[in-house]
Amino acid sequence: MPFIEVLSEILPPSRIVADADVIAAHSRDQAAWAPAGRPLALVRPQDAEQVRAVVAACAAHRVPIVPRGAGTGLSGGANAVDGCVLLALDGMDRVLEIDASEQLAVVQPGVINDHLRAAVAEHGLWYPPDPASSPWSTIGGNAATNAGGVCCVKYGVTRDYVLGLQVVTGTGELVRLGRRTRKGVAGYDLAALFVGSEGTLGVITEITVRLLRLPESPPMTIVGAFDSLVAAGRGVAAAAAAGITPAALELVDRYCLRAVDDWKNMGLADLGDVLLLGRVDTGDEREAAALQECFDRAGATWSTRSTDAEEAEALFSARRLAYPALERLGPVLTEDVCVPRGLVPEMLARIEGHAKAHDVHIANIAHAGDGNLHPLIVVPAGDDAARARAQGAFEAILDDAIALGGTVTGEHGVGLLKRRGMHAELGEDVLALHRAIKSALDPAGIFNPGKVI
Calculate what percentage of the chain has a pLDDT beyond 90.
86
Q: How far apart are CA 30 and CA 182, in angstroms?
A: 35
Q: Domain containing 16: what range?
A: 3-88
Span 128-134, average pLDDT = 93
Which CATH number belongs to the domain containing residue 50 in this structure? 3.30.43.10
DSSP letter assigned to residue 134: T
Do 243 and 272 fall into the same domain?
A: yes
Question: Would residue 448 count as lying in a domain?
Answer: no
Do 206 and 220 fall into the same domain?
A: no
pTM: 0.94
What would the DSSP string read from start to end of 314-362?
HHHHHHHHHHHHHHTTS-EEE--EE--GGGHHHHHHHHHHHHHHTT-EE
Q: Where are the beta strands (DSSP E) in 121-265?
A: 125-126, 162-168, 174-178, 203-210, 212-213, 220-226, 248-253
Among 57, 88, 119, which residue terminates a domain? 88
Output the pLDDT for position 316.
Answer: 80
Span 232-252, average pLDDT = 95
Among 88, 121, 143, which residue terminates a domain? 88
Output the pLDDT for position 120.
Answer: 98
Do 40 and 7 fall into the same domain?
A: yes
Do 207 and 154 fall into the same domain?
A: yes
Least confident among 107-121, 247-261, 316-330: 316-330
Do 310 and 363 fall into the same domain?
A: no
Output the pLDDT for position 209.
Answer: 98
Q: How far apart are CA 362 and CA 374, in angstroms?
A: 10
Do 46 and 106 fall into the same domain?
A: no
Which CATH number belongs to the domain containing residue 398 in this structure? 3.30.70.2740
Span 306-313, average pLDDT = 72
Do 71 and 11 fall into the same domain?
A: yes
Do 148 and 241 fall into the same domain?
A: no
Do 242 and 320 fall into the same domain?
A: yes
Q: How far apart are CA 351 and CA 361, in angstroms?
A: 10
Question: Would residue 446 count as lying in a domain?
Answer: no
Among 213, 245, 279, which residue terminates a domain? 213
Which residues, other chains included, contact 64 with Cβ-Cβ below 8 Å and sequence gap of 6+? 58, 81, 83, 84, 85, 445, 446, 447, 448, 449
Which CATH number belongs to the domain containing residue 227 in this structure? 3.30.70.2190
Question: Would residue 294 count as lying in a domain?
Answer: yes
Strand partners, 84: none
pLDDT-derived band at 327 (thresholds 50, 70, 90) equals confident
pLDDT-derived band at 331 (thresholds 50, 70, 90) equals confident
- Reply yes or no on whether the pLDDT at 314 is more than 80: no
Output the pLDDT for position 266.
Answer: 83
Question: Would residue 452 count as lying in a domain?
Answer: no
Question: Would residue 453 count as lying in a domain?
Answer: no
Which residues, other chains included, contact 356 with Cβ-Cβ below 8 Å and sequence gap of 6+? none
Do 315 and 405 fall into the same domain?
A: no
Span 423-443, average pLDDT = 97
Output the pLDDT for position 317.
Answer: 82
pLDDT-derived band at 1 (thresholds 50, 70, 90) equals confident
Do 111 and 145 fall into the same domain?
A: yes
Do 238 and 251 fall into the same domain?
A: yes
Least confident among 88-102, 295-309, 336-350: 295-309
Output the pLDDT for position 267.
Answer: 81
Q: How far apart are CA 21 and CA 19, in angstroms?
A: 6
Least confident among 31-45, 89-103, 150-164, 269-283: 269-283
- Reply yes or no on whether the pLDDT at 297 is more than 90: yes
- Reply yes or no on whether the pLDDT at 384 is more than 90: yes
Per residue in 183-201, pLDDT (tens digit) is: 999 999 999 999 999 999 9
Domains identified in the chain, total number: 4
Question: Would residue 124 count as lying in a domain?
Answer: yes
Question: Would residue 427 count as lying in a domain?
Answer: yes
pLDDT-derived band at 312 (thresholds 50, 70, 90) equals low
Question: Would residue 281 count as lying in a domain?
Answer: yes
- Reply yes or no on whether the pLDDT at 310 is more than 80: no
Q: Pairing mode, if any, of strands 65-68 and 85-88?
A: parallel
